[in-house]
Structure 1
Amino acid sequence: MVEQMVTIQNRAGIHARPSAMLVQTAKDFKSNIYLEKGNDRINGKSIMGILTLGASYGTEIKVITEGEDEQAALEAMVKLFDQKFEEE
């Protein structure tokens, strides 16, 4: 299991488009992927779960991956946050 903290840097936060990008990326990996905000942990392959996090600009999220391709999965997920979901 590997994990990394990320901060939402795009002004609109995590809405439908970034959620879809996260799910689309997560589904490319065999590993389990979770996003954690406070005490809430959701499946990173569930668009509804991601939307229910209510993650806005400046929110810190922990990305957790677990499985045979966990490192590559973590890097791909973190890259989306770092690129601000290609919105800016």
Structure 2
Amino acid sequence: MISQKITVNNPSGLHLRPAGTLCNEAIKYDSRIEFIFNGAKSNAKSVLSVLGACVKCGDEIELICDGTDEQAAMEALTSAISSGLGE
């Protein structure tokens, strides 16, 4: 299991479109992918779970990847989040 803190920088936070982009990237990997925000754990492969976290611009999340391809998943997801998830 690996984890990394990252700041969400897209202007509207994780609303529907970027949440979908995050989930579409996460489901490419076999690893369990979650993030912790405000003490609550969310499944990064579930759009409803991501939306329910209410992550806004400037919020820091802790991304957690656990599985056989955890390193590749972490690199891809941190890159996607850093680049603004398509926004």
Q: TM-score, normalised by structure 1?
A: 0.95
- % identical equivalent positions: 33
The C-alpha deviation readout for 1:29-62, integer Å capped at 9, x for no partner, is: 0000001102100111110000001000110001
User: How far apart are the structure 2 equivalents of 1:36 and 1:77?
Assistant: 14
User: For residue 61 of structure 1, what is the aligned residue in structure 2?
Assistant: 61
The secondary structure found in structure 2 opposite 1:65 is strand
1:30 aligns with 2:30: yes
AA matched with 1:62: E
Corresponding residue number in structure 1 for 2:81: 81
Unaligned runs of 5+ in 2: none
Query: Are the equivalent residues in 1 in contact too, given 2:21–2:86 (CA < 8 A)?
Result: no
Question: What's the CA shift for 1:81?
Answer: 1.0
